[in-house]
Structure formats: C-alpha cells, structure tokens
Amino acid sequence: MKLAATAPDRLSVRTVEVPDPGDLISRLPHPSALAWVRHGEGIVGWGEAARVTLPGGEDRFAEAARLLGELFGAAGVDDPVGVPGSGPVAFGGFGFDPKSPESVLIVPRQVLGRRGGRAWLTTIGEDPDPLALVRPPVPPSALSWSGGALTPQAWRGAVAAAVERIREGRLGKVVLARDLHVRAAEPIDARVLLRRLADRFPGCYAFSCAGLVGATPELLIRRTGGDVESLVLAGTTERGTDARDDAERAARLFGSAKDRQEHGYAARMVRDALAPLCSRLDVPDVPELLTLPNLIHLASPVRGRLDRDRSVLDVVAALHPTPAVCGTPTDTAMDLIRELEGMDRGRYAGPVGWVDARGDGEWGIALRCAEIDGTRARLFAGCGIVADSDPAAEFAEAQAKFGAMRQALEG
C-alpha cells in the first residue's frame, strides 16, 4: 500500500453532524474532486490522507479489502453519526481487465455527505477551514477532438468479426468499446463536468475518482448492513423526438428479441453471482424500462440479503465483470475484447464507487465517463454485440453514448 506523503502512521478521523450544506458538488474546493452523487445526495471528498494502488490480478478486490481493513482498523475514529459513508471512506476505481494495473483507492482528508435528511463532515488530521474554496471551477475551452484507437470503419469491422464468432457458437455475447480523444486549452476541471452531468442526469450516479469522471446509470452493488441492491442495464435505444416517438421507441426496445437476449445474459449472471452470497435474493422475471434524458434502457432491479458479514468489495469481486460490460462466457468474451478493441480500457467499465470502514458502500460500473489527464480527456462508449447485431446500428449506438460526456465538456 502506498500512503500519501502527508499521511500519518495512524489516521485520526473525526466525523461531526453539520447543517445541510446545500449542493455537494459546489462545495468541492479544488479540481482534484472525489464524488459519488445522485439526486443531490451522496458524498464528496478532497485532499488525500492515503492512497492504495493495486497491480493487476484476480485477487485485487480481496487485496484492496485487506489493505483498507488494516488502515481503517488501526485508525482512531470518532464517528457519532454512524451512517453509511460517515467515518473514514475510500473512493475507488478498478481496471476493467484483471491484467490492467489501473486500480486505485483514495482516502480523502475531508468528506462531506448528505443522505436521508442528515449531513456530516469527516476530517482526517487538522484542517482549520475544510470548506474554503481554493480555486473556482473554470469550464474547458477551445476543445479539439480526435479519433481513438480504431477508425469508425475498423470498429465496425471489429463488430462484424465479433458477430461471426458468435454465430459460430464460440460465445453468446461480447461488449465492444470505442474511445475518443479531446484536448482543451487549459487543464480540465472535474468539478465542471460533475456539475453538468449531475444537472443533466440527476438519476445517474455522478462520480469522480483519480481523474475518472462520469455519470453512470448502472448500480453494480449497494451494501447497507446486510442488505444489497443491484441494477442490471442491458439493451438500449435513443430517446425520441417527442412523447409519441419516445413511446414507440420504448415499445420496440421492450419487444426486441435481440435486446431482450442481451439483457437476459446480464440479469442471469448477476443472479448466479449473488445467489451463493445471499440468504435471500429477488430478481424480476421481466425487465422494466429505465428512461434517461438521452437514452432508454432495459433494467432489472435486484435485491438480496447477505448470508453473513461481507464487505461491499467482496460482492464487487463476485460480480465483476458482468455480461453488460464484458459478455458471456466471461473468459471467452474478455479474450475477444483484448483481440478486437485495439486498446486498454483502463478503468472504463470497471467498478467505481466508495467503501467505508463498516464495509458499506456503493459501486457502479464506470460508464458514460472520461479519463482526465491535464488538458486531455479520453471518452469511452461500448455496445453489447449478439448474433443479430448490425455493425452500423452498433456504431450509431456508441456515438449516442458518447453524447453525455461530449455535452459535459462542451457545455
């Protein structure tokens, strides 16, 4: 485990209840933002008390839980609030591919949270004015866009190759992603993107961790005590031009054999992964429709009760990667992704979220996101490919999925 240079050997953590702070994102004092916010509730953090960096490997979730357990277990914690997200918290993002050395968890020096009518501030160490605005957010300007790892024609060719493998019976589904690059005149401020994403997609989870910023509709897992929740999303169409067009598109999506097949793969995998960990598990037989400002998804909410005390990271380990972002069978789909995508996804489509010292937490799948590196950003979009997939239609879907982050950058 690598600790920040300012971290003491033993963390001293104090949480106090505070008056309603108002908009959480607006309280972030500088661009190095940590956030997990939905409908105005959640947690934001800043500063760095400790950092855990993990190499690739199948045991990275267990290793993260172990290292955080040692760090939090040795901490001196004063937390009279005692709710999920109070006390010491680590924000994190894991690489999509186990071979990718991209996983990181950050324990911030300050965390501001609000949930269910209560608000709190957690401070590690001493900070006389933790909410002082160090630097006001500045929108990105003079954006210059460029292509990613594959040209549009090459990516459509990759989809066609994947369809051929599927029709040969080698696998049932694979998710192929694209990337897109942009450069701004000045360093890109994560707070600006968070603000725009949260305003446009209040029902999604606006997140920021170590340069990865986005708004995901997909809740991989939430653990609150012994209860767990997940939201499976697979099968997508764009919103219509009016209410009638919306309704027709939603009906076509719900009745689409291709999309229902794609969704079924994802829902069954989540059920099969959670069942051994739960004493009770409720998975709907038929998906419902989730309507966002730009897209409509097939969705299946899943709820369960853990059979014993497990950290949220233990459950994340059982779930990742889902067919919604990888495919099925998992190993075959992962190999095909490595062969056809022509890029390393980094933390795109990997788990992103937070975990506290009690093992509670919320983790989503890093979708509708971008990796920020100074003046540069790299956007991602992926599509589920099955036997009936059409390369041109999948390319159009990927272009639509870029829209959320493009609008967040362009304003």
Supply the residues annotated as catalytic.
173, 218
Report the C-alpha gap between 180 and 17 in whole angstroms.
Answer: 42
Report the C-alpha gap between 151 and 159 in whole angstroms.
Answer: 12
On the question of a cis peptide bond just before residue 329, with omega within 30 degrees of 0, the verdict is: yes
Residue of 267, 276, 240, 234 whose CA lies nearest to 385 = 234
Cβ-contact 311, 301 below 8 angstroms: no
Report the C-alpha gap between 409 and 411 in whole angstroms.
Answer: 6
Report the C-alpha gap between 393 and 236 in whole angstroms.
Answer: 11
**Other Cβ atoms closer than 10 A to 397:** 19
Using alpha carbons, list the distances in angstroms from residue 285 to 75, 138, 261, 291, 324. 45, 47, 13, 19, 17
For 347, phi then psi, to 5°, come to: -90, 0
Report the C-alpha gap between 340 and 347 in whole angstroms.
Answer: 18
Report the C-alpha gap between 78 and 69 in whole angstroms.
Answer: 17
Full DSSP string of 51-91: EEEE-SSTTHHHHHHHHHHHHHHTSEEE-SS-STT-SSEEE
